Structure 1
Amino acid sequence: MAGIGIYFGTDTGRTRLLAKQMARKLGSRAAPPVNVARAEPGDLLQHDFLILGTPTLGDGMLPGRSTGLSADSWEEFLPRLAGLDFRGRQVALYGLGDQLKYPDNFVDALEDLYQAFSALGATLVGSWPATEYSFAASRAVHEGHFRGLALDQHNQGLQTEARIDAWLAALEPLLPQG
């Protein structure tokens, strides 16, 4: 398996498209992105480094059936990870949100992934400055940084590629090379 695994939950497909964009930029070091609805928990343990993506739905929720999705997503997948040991694995997160429509819980789902993988022993990396965004509150902000890369395709879509490039460049020293 490739050293870098990219997994995502999605509603509209935007999170999947960004996962594919990241995989292209990482080249052969990254396995093809996988929707968590089609993954087994042990699949994640096959990688030295994980990039995990999620949108934030409604009022700050992870995607899943309780949010009206017709398929499983992070909400159903995370409990299935219970008992797995992610010690020694590095995990970077990216999240999608709409800072103008949901200013009180912008990319909140990043915090849910952060807490879940921290509890499983993973080392979380890849925080991102909370500057250059316009939102009121986010559970995913800690000491002025998001718990991962925050992307707003609705209001700042033109900045997405540059943000991904800068985030991946910052992660580069941590990424498996072969």
Structure 2
Amino acid sequence: MTKIGIFFGTDTGNTRKVAKSIAKQIGEEIAAKPVNINKATVDDLLAYDVLILGTPTYGEGELPGLSSGATAESWEEFLPALAGADFSGKTVALYGLGDQAGYPGHFVDAMGMLYDAFSDCGAAFVGFTGIEGYDFERSKALLGDQFVGLALDEDNQKELSEGRLAAWLAAIRSSWQ
């Protein structure tokens, strides 16, 4: 069985915690140890057939990175390196953290930005989720009436995150089996 690469951007550590939970639930025989994107190269991602990528959304719809106030480089600095990369044949599942009460017009926007960037590189996606149970105005992470991955709100719905994560992993399990 091919190992799954798990890469995340973070500044406060919440997205890293979710990445570690994902790796634990999948199991170390299948999931590689999660890696902060600021320690990764495009070739590191290309080494996997299946990727799980996570990002928080900063402020009013920003990727984590130096210009958004993060203390270290993150997705903002990494995404330009994807130019010309070929992710055809790669399966990607996304998760994003956001604050639907504080930023209802930008809920999990950064997840949508990852979707756009990796879609432009030819990746195939799994793990779209419904919008039921969320209360927001707009999101760049919407495709039709679904999020392009798992949306988590650790600020306002932390109690729902564990169940949402378990259901999402069960739904995407077929992508690596």
Using structure 1 for the length normalisation, give the TM-score: 0.96
Partner amino acid, structure 2, of 1:40: T
> 1:17-76: CA deviations, max 9, x gaps?
000000000101000000001111100011110000000000001101110112110000
The total of aligned residue pairs comes to: 176
Using structure 2 for the length normalisation, give the TM-score: 0.97
Match of 1:125 in 2: 126
Q: Give the whole-Å Cα distance in 1 for the aligned partners of 2:43 and 2:31.
A: 17
Contact map agreement 2:11 2:71 (CA 8 A) in 1: no
Match of 1:29 in 2: 30
Runs (5+) with no aligned partner, structure 2 = none
Partner amino acid, structure 2, of 1:142: L
Q: Give the whole-Å Cα distance in 2 for the aligned partners of 1:142 and 1:36.
A: 25
Match of 1:20 in 2: 20
SS at match of 1:133: coil
SS at match of 1:91: strand
Q: Does 1:102 align with 2:103?
A: yes
Match of 2:6 in 1: 6
Runs (5+) with no aligned partner, structure 1 = none
Q: Give the whole-Å Cα distance in 1 for the aligned partners of 2:114 and 2:30.
A: 23
Q: Give the whole-Å Cα distance in 2 for the aligned partners of 1:92 and 1:37.
A: 19
Q: Give the whole-Å Cα distance in 2 for the aligned partners of 1:83 and 1:147.
A: 23
Partner amino acid, structure 2, of 1:17: K
Match of 1:77 in 2: 78
Q: Percent identity, please.
A: 56
Greater than 3 Å deviation, 4+ residue runs:
none
Contact map agreement 1:90 1:122 (CA 8 A) in 2: yes
SS at match of 1:136: coil
Q: Give the whole-Å Cα distance in 2 for the aligned partners of 1:61 and 1:148.
A: 17
